[in-house]
Amino acid sequence: MTNRKDIFKVVLVVCAVVGFLVFCNPLPSWSQGPMHAKAPSDIWKPRQVPAGARFANQNSCAECHADKTTSYQHHAMAKALETVAESQILRAHPRLTFRNGPFSYQVVRQGEQSIYTVTDGVNTISEPILYSFGQGRAGQTYVLQHKGQFYESRLSFYNDTQGLDVTLGYPPTAPASLDEALGRAMSPEETKNCFSCHATAAVSGSQLQLDKMMPGVSCQACHGPGEQHVVAMKAGNFKQKYIYNPGTLSADDQSQEFCASCHRGVEDVIALPNSGGINNVRHQPYRIFNSKCYGDDRRISCTACHDPHEPLKINSAVFYDAKCNACHLPSPKVKLAKNVQVAKDRTAPFCPVGTQNCASCHMPKTDLPGAHFKFTDHRIRVVKPGAPFPTE
């Protein structure tokens, strides 16, 4: 198997030498080369739903996979998009207000709806919110329609302040017009992108199909359309399962292709128009790729630390330490019980400083300005006091 890190280095060198931007962009094409044991058509790509794909009712998986369905309900991904009727944050906050320069905002609950209003005192725009994006651990942004176009709300709800503030990426200064104060009109391409990362079956082929959308990243976002699977399993026909299992991917492909299709890997970040700098702290596949710990090794793939079917483990040092200790040798300061043997494949060096809570020092929580949230930097490294955030 070819190593992605080596290929990446070669590509970077070639790009630097040739200085030919067009060459840098088609990276995904080499990722579909000999690295995959399977034909690309066998590999389900989240977000790329072929037209005519037949999804099962999203509640049907619970019939036979009750354990995963029950635990997954509590994962933020399951609620990455909610309808306004169901939006927990909008229901819990029947009246939100904010002021930015001459503009006053209100988000007011009316029955099953939430109405987003902005006024400069003379003119007013008032539209019902259509969808809430983000379960809100950091924040929640709204999508609404105005003059026939989808808009991203200029204001978002933030968990740390339990109130509204300017959406990440917008300047804090007062907007120039009432339309701008409402938010930003999204191009059809951007609209499809948002829905394909935060929901399931919202895009078919190249068409947005919100009538068929299942809110949130549901089972079939990752496992592909499941209608045939349900039929086959019910008929007791187990020979062919008709459902995609990402457990068959290599560790590197799982992180850099599969989870990265939404969380963004090294190839995606290179292609982003505004990539670089502190913003990349949100793109875990990209950050971890540039860590010395990273390789095509199951012990460092996304699923090593995050079972996608269970909610994120928060402030659970013992849990994450065990993940580091799968590779790193124990410090001589740690007294191992006599019957405990260190696995032979634990060959990475031990820490001269700490023996526990490894991530707190080596995966520092990093404030992303404007996000009201400290992201966990997945670029595992020795953090030198006062050193700048490594952006590459």
Residue 210 interacts with ligand HEC (CB under 6 A)?
Answer: no
CB of 209 to ligand HEC, least distance (A): 16
Alpha-carbon gap, residue 252 to 302, rounded angstroms = 9
Residue 11 interacts with ligand HEC (CB under 6 A)?
Answer: no
Question: CA dist 131 to 57, 73, 138, 176, 226, Å?
Answer: 20, 19, 17, 25, 25
Alpha-carbon gap, residue 392 to 9, rounded angstroms = 13
Closest CB to ligand HEC among 5 and 120? 5
Binding mask 157-186 for ligand HEC (x = CB under 6 A): ------------------------------
Restricted to residues 348-387, the positions that interact with ligand HEC (CB under 6 A) are 348-349, 351-363, 375-376, 378, 380-382
Three-class SS state of 158: strand
Residue range at the interface with ligand HEC (CB under 6 A); choices 7-15, 20-28, 122-130, 301-309: 301-309
Alpha-carbon gap, residue 247 to 282, rounded angstroms = 24
Residue 91 interacts with ligand HEC (CB under 6 A)?
Answer: no
Residue 318 interacts with ligand HEC (CB under 6 A)?
Answer: no
Q: Is there a contact between 128 and 144 (Cβ–Cβ < 8 Å)? A: yes
Closest CB to ligand HEC among 175 and 226? 226
Closest CB to ligand HEC among 129 and 302? 302
Alpha-carbon gap, residue 195 to 209, rounded angstroms = 10
Residue with tokens 């086959």: 232
CB of 286 to ligand HEC, least distance (A): 8
CB of 161 to ligand HEC, least distance (A): 13
How many residues sit close enough to ligand HEC to count as binding (CB under 6 A)?
A: 98
Question: CA dist 33 to 2, 7, 30, 254, Å?
Answer: 10, 11, 5, 16
Three-class SS state of 33: coil
Restricted to residues 212-271, the positions that interact with ligand HEC (CB under 6 A) are 217, 219-223, 226, 229-230, 233-234, 241, 243, 245-247, 255, 258-259, 261-263
Asked whether the CA dihedral 32, 37, 41, 43 is positive or negative, the reply is negative
